[in-house]
Amino acid sequence: MDGPVVIITGAGRGIGRAAAVELGALGYRLTLVSRNQDELAETARLAGGGLLVVADVREPDEVHHVFESTMQTYDGLDAIVHCAGLAPVRSIGEMTIEEWRDVIDTNLSSAFYLAHAAWRIFERQRSGVIVNISSQAARDPFPGFAAYGAAKAGLNLFGLSAAREGQKIGVRVHTIAPAAVETAMFRGIVPEAQYPREKALAPADVARVIVQCVKGELAHTSGEVIYIHKVCE
């Protein structure tokens, strides 16, 4: 098979699944990553196939395995779409040290692990794209989101720095920060009675922006944070 290759984390559901469906329809060859084999299998069915890798992006060795498997299967890599996230609602007083580390590692450290693993590949081929999914909570967190908001704010700055480093080797780094998205993670935090479904973005809304970044239609936004929200009448 021909076609560009993309690694998608958090691919088992939500934004990651929607991105896989959109990119698969465009002929991208997919490496689908999450911690749930059954969810990955369903995403692959919806997206028309893909390499399934069960991995925890908080662990550098497991991230290395993702890249090793991808290169062995496809012998190439064109893009990374990093959608994996963790967003427990905890006050500063309630949050444990372990929970803090889990949130930072899932949302921020993992982005470094992925970029670090990809950098030499991208440098060698003088091209590559990284799309990281941030959140509006990076600039406007509600109570209980201190860890998540801080992690996503750090992700925003990491994206800017990585884009500046990547410019000389043809690498673009995009950061997308959506408002509320109708996902299982969001509904685990905010019930529909508190935030109606019609006010939330669909995962496909975010996926379409991801595709624009990967394809280069938003090439001039490399390093910037793209905030998106649903306009309600």
Catalytic residue among 28, 74, 113, 148: 148
* Residue in 93, 225, 90, 227 with CA at minimum distance from that of residue 147: 90
* Helix axes of 14-25 and 203-215: crossing angle, nearest 10 degrees: 50
Sheet hosting strand 128-133, strand order edge to edge: 51-54, 29-34, 5-9, 79-82, 128-133, 171-178, 225-228
**Are the C-beta atoms of 128 and 122 separated by less than 8 Å?**
yes
Sort residue 44 into left (φ over 0), alpha (ψ -120 to 50) or beta.
alpha
Q: What is the pLDDT of residue 84?
A: 95
CATH code of the domain covering residue 132:
3.40.50.720
228, part of any domain? no
148 carries an active-site annotation: yes
227, part of any domain? no
- Using CA atoms of 191, 192, 194, 199 in order, give the dihedral in degrees to the nearest 10: 130
42, part of any domain? yes
232, part of any domain? no
The tally of domains found in the chain comes to 1
Q: Write down the H helix ranges in the chain.
A: 14-25, 37-47, 60-74, 97-104, 110-125, 146-166, 184-187, 203-215
Q: Two tokens at 58? A: 């908080």
Q: What is the pLDDT of residue 98?
A: 97
**Are the C-beta atoms of 52 and 40 separated by less than 8 Å?**
yes
233, part of any domain? no
114, part of any domain? yes
Tens digit of each residue's pLDDT, the chain (233 residues): 689 999 999 999 999 999 999 999 999 999 999 999 999 999 999 999 999 999 999 999 999 999 999 999 998 999 999 999 998 899 999 999 999 999 999 999 999 999 999 999 999 999 999 999 999 989 988 889 999 999 999 999 999 999 999 999 999 999 999 987 777 776 777 766 677 777 878 899 999 999 999 999 999 999 999 999 876 54
Q: What is the pLDDT of residue 190?
A: 72
230, part of any domain? no
How big is the CA angle at 89 (ends 87 and 95), to the nearest 5 degrees?
105
Domain of residue 94 covers: 5-221
27, part of any domain? yes
Please tell me the pTM assigned to this model.
0.93
Q: Two tokens at 138? A: 């990076």
Q: What is the pLDDT of residue 201?
A: 84
